[in-house]
Structure 1
């Protein structure tokens, strides 16, 4: 939790907004330059208002689900306004940081600044991470039953080598996420001390020694989080679990809704788009650029171009505007007021703790 006001402001600086925006928009501009046709503007004018409205509704459901979940897992310690601010800043951090880093550390710090004790903050962020991973673990077998091998783009669209690489990456990622999700669940809810001993033992291994401090901190955080979570009742877990299902179902369904505004899709095609999004998100998670900027734009046609043809680039831009650039903008707008409130509270509290000396 090595964050303070100065470091947090650096995370939400203008550079953090502009760098990924310029990178992503630069890729889109190049794609438009290479593939632009006048007919694309005509297709935009013919977009279905109904499906565009459904896309915005699904986006609202996703964000409301996040706000509801963070308020629920914090036992209503946050107001609706505070929950909204935390989620918008959490989304911003996820967009501004490389996908392999994520925004969980920033999120725990923000909860702590909202006067939630550090141990509880860590526990609440870990709960959301555990449930997010469990949703992925459960949803993958379901979509594989429905679409089979079509979940991976065809070889004629991406090439045989890339198709094989995607298949391997998908299988390895699913295995790692499954192990991590169940290990976290076991640690948080059943036997945190055993998992702590395992992590500490691993930290002494030769090839893991470079991550010794990270593993040590993770072991301690798991133990702290477990103490807060093992006393929670069934209602707490039902609310958190159902809201997680709504959030991620909406998150994966947005692409299908947006594409349906420009071309007819049947139910099976919606399911295929939903399943492809699972693989697409794995590719983005492996990106080292902020918010997978550039990588997301380049990879999009390989996964969804078969449904869009010549106007894929336009849909890439619309999709990223709704699911990425929007949150960079919202975070930049929300952060100054949030920082002014929480850090002024901290300074006032510190001033009150000072005893005047005659």
Structure 2
């Protein structure tokens, strides 16, 4: 079996899909039992339906933005149809892998099997990571400044817990910054030195079996770096704007859900967005697939101030809209995509023979 196919099937195994579902459901059930919120599910009936529709609309717009961005980054090599496959499977991979790992390895294989050379596939995945992380690096200090210290939650938290949360944020932020600047260095400043580092690392005895691959990837990154450097201002402007757009949409979706259950002022909308940014930077170091269980548990502390008794209901709706659908959609898209790309590869092999 094709090694890439083995990797895809292993990454998307039923067990890996079941784990985040069980973790999320367990955490949600615990929240309802702990806070005695079962009877308050009827509050959904009184929610503002237009804000709920807006939340779904923002989700669709966000995914359309992701499709536009990956198509633009690949210089329209991907069709709109292929872009849908890539984004759905990418989101699927992110949903079933720990946030600290993400779906980058699988995303590289997905782009490669769509016809992009491996070097370019890796470069585009790295580029999306750099763009996303630069958004965090720039936006987080702005959120801290605008919120004037209110960005870290104190709702139902002990001072020691707030301190731990702040520590987790700064650790996550620091790791993101280090990773991002290494990637910027590899792609745009000195890919040859990055290749040397890969070879140096794989010269260690227990890593030597990856030395050939390191040499190959080093060469591909050097070539991809040259391709990326040749892009004009319009290319980079659209890449940056589309990144800001998709992440703004991702965050504003929660604003829509909160506004469906309670009146939210403009200043509160800004604070919710700021807290959401800090929330997800902290969640990036989550060790569970897609942050399952951890997101549900931490959510009331961050946003309970705005929701009161509806925080548990909103976190359930939030995960139902932004997380679980990708588990379902990914399970639908995956078999068709595997049949398409690996079936095509098999036919091409028969023709070459």
Query: 1:270 corresponds to which residue?
Result: 269
In structure 2, relative to structure 1, the CA distance for the partners of 1:115 and 1:202 (3 Å cut) is closer
Is residue 181 of structure 2 the alignment partner of residue 182 of structure 1?
A: yes
Alpha carbons 2:98, 2:289 under 8 Å: kept: yes
Shift of 1:85: 0.7
1:180-230 per-residue CA deviation (whole Å, 9 max, x = no partner) reads: 32332233123322444466667889xxx9899699577556434312211
Query: 1:319 corresponds to which residue?
Result: 318
1:274-323 per-residue CA deviation (whole Å, 9 max, x = no partner) reads: 11112211232212211111111111111111111122111111000111
Task: Give the whole-Å Cα distance in 1 for the aligned partners of 2:102 and 2:202.
Answer: 22
1:44-72 per-residue CA deviation (whole Å, 9 max, x = no partner) reads: 11111221122112111210110001111
In structure 2, relative to structure 1, the CA distance for the partners of 1:86 and 1:166 (3 Å cut) is same
Shift of 1:147: 0.2
In structure 2, relative to structure 1, the CA distance for the partners of 1:219 and 1:118 (3 Å cut) is closer
What does residue range 111-130 of structure 1 map to in structure 2 within 5 Å?
Answer: 111-130=111-130
Structure 2: segments with no counterpart, 5+ residues: none
Structure 2 counterpart SS, 1:261 = helix
Shift of 1:249: 0.8
In structure 2, relative to structure 1, the CA distance for the partners of 1:38 and 1:336 (3 Å cut) is closer
Alpha carbons 2:136, 2:281 under 8 Å: kept: no
Structure 1 counterpart SS, 2:153 = coil
Alpha carbons 1:61, 1:246 under 8 Å: kept: no
Query: 1:336 corresponds to which residue?
Result: 335
Task: Give the whole-Å Cα distance in 1 for the aligned partners of 2:208 and 2:138.
Answer: 30
In structure 2, relative to structure 1, the CA distance for the partners of 1:337 and 1:201 (3 Å cut) is closer
Is residue 147 of structure 2 the alignment partner of residue 147 of structure 1?
A: yes
Shift of 1:138: 1.3
Structure 1 counterpart SS, 2:156 = helix
Query: 1:300 corresponds to which residue?
Result: 299
Alpha carbons 2:172, 2:284 under 8 Å: kept: no
Task: Give the whole-Å Cα distance in 2 for the aligned partners of 1:35 and 1:67.
Answer: 39
In structure 2, relative to structure 1, the CA distance for the partners of 1:3 and 1:135 (3 Å cut) is farther
Task: Give the whole-Å Cα distance in 2 for the aligned partners of 1:199 and 1:340.
Answer: 34
In structure 2, relative to structure 1, the CA distance for the partners of 1:148 and 1:16 (3 Å cut) is same
Q: How many residues align?
A: 350
Query: 1:105 corresponds to which residue?
Result: 105
Alpha carbons 1:203, 1:211 under 8 Å: kept: yes
What does residue range 28-67 of structure 1 map to in structure 2 within 5 Å?
Answer: 28-37=28-37, 40-67=40-67
Structure 1: segments with no counterpart, 5+ residues: none
Q: Which moved more, 1:145-154 or 1:281-290?
A: 281-290
Q: Runs ≥4 in structure 1, deviation > 3 angstroms?
A: 36-39, 194-205, 209-222
